[in-house]
């Protein structure tokens, strides 16, 4: 509105309004005399009155425009609030779906292993390099978690607890070069121990080195924990053999982990078995 008052149209309207007012006063003063001046004033002021009325209508139209613009802004604000509310509901819905899926997997393991005791935890941190070799969990010794407890997602082995504080704990995943797991080939029964390097961890794989050339392990075979060593129960799924690398003395199996480390948000800690 302030911008309009500063325009040339506004100044023109002001001049016309002043002229109209002056003319009206003059006309009133001369009314009834029927003088030539009165007639001349009528001739001059008649067009001015029409122009003035037109300007007044324009001014009223501007007022209606600002009122409708304010109503539109209110409607847009209301719509934005509705969209934000719907987005929040969608986020809650997807969280509920994911939680339901996680709980179903948890119950499946529990049904198959009634003597197992579990604790659920959420990942709150990972290794700075982003290779998924280490996680920090939001549960610790207060929840019964201790060092060497296996960490799972569904039936898949994620890693092992290496540090347990009161309300948090640290997991070294099977991608970590420090983690060694005794595994067996579910097809042939051939045995081996997992190992890793930083280079393979970056690729998202682990290795089973120093295999005899006669070992019955081929690409596509499924590897699971053997139960040897006392840290991991038998038959937790570790991964699938991606390829066999022939070396001068032995062979190395390159394994793709069953757990999808890029998508992990929650895990299960096996606190007793």
Model confidence pLDDT, tens digit, residues 89-133: 777 666 566 566 666 666 667 677 778 888 999 999 998 888 899
Instruction: For residue 129, count CB atoms less than 10 angstroms from its CB and return exposed for 0-12, middle for 13-18, buried for 19 or more.
Output: exposed
pLDDT: is 56 or 28 the higher one? 56
Residues 6+ apart with CB under 8 A from 126: 132, 134, 135, 136
pLDDT at 5: 46
pLDDT classification of 32: cutoffs 50, 70, 90: very low
Average pLDDT, integer, range 16-21: 57
pLDDT of res. 8: 55
- How many residues can be counted in the chain? 273
Strand 156-164 and strand 222-225: the pairing is unpaired
Write down the pLDDT at residue 82.
Answer: 81
Segment 158-217, tens digit of pLDDT: 999 999 999 999 999 999 999 999 999 999 999 999 999 999 999 999 999 999 877 788
Name the average pLDDT for the chain: 80
Q: Is 217 exposed, middle or buried (0-12, 13-18, 19+ CB in 10 A)?
A: buried
pLDDT at 4: 44
- Checking if the pLDDT of 76 tops 90, the result is no
Domain ranges of the chain: 2-73, 117-272
User: Which residue in this structure is represented by tokens 């609030």?
Assistant: 81
Domain 117-272: assigned CATH number: 2.40.10.340
What stretches of 124-268 show up as alpha helix (H) in DSSP?
A: 198-203
């Amino acid at each position: 509105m302030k911008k309009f008052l500063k325009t040339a149209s506004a100044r023109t309207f002001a001049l016309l309004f002043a002229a109209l007012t002056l003319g009206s006063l003059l006309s009133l003063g001369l009314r009834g005399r029927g003088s030539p001046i009165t007639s001349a004033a009528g001739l001059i002021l008649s067009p001015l009155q029409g122009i003035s009325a037109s300007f007044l209508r324009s001014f009223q139209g501007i007022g209606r425009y600002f009122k409708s613009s304010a109503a539109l802004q209110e409607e847009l604000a209301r719509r934005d609030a509705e969209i934000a509310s719907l987005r929040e509901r969608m986020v809650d819905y997807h969280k509920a779906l994911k939680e339901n899926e996680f709980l179903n997997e948890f119950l499946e393991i529990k049904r198959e292993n009634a003597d197992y005791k579990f604790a659920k935890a959420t990942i709150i941190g990972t290794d700075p390099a982003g290779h998924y070799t280490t996680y920090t969990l939001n549960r610790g010794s207060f929840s019964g978690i201790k060092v060497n407890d296996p960490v799972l997602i569904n039936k898949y082995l994620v890693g092992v607890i290496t540090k347990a504080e009161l309300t948090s704990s640290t997991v070294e995943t099977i991608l970590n070069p420090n983690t060694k797991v005794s595994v067996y080939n579910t097809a042939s029964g051939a045995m081996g121990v997992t190992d890793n390097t930083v280079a393979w961890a970056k690729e998202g794989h682990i290795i089973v080195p120093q295999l005899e050339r006669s070992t019955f392990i081929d690409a596509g075979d499924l590897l699971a924990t053997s139960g040897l060593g006392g840290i991991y129960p038998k038959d937790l799924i570790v991964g699938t053999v991606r390829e066999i690398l022939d070396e001068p003395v032995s062979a190395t199996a390159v394994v793709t982990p069953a757990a999808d480390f890029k998508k992990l948000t929650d895990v299960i800690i096996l606190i007793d078995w």
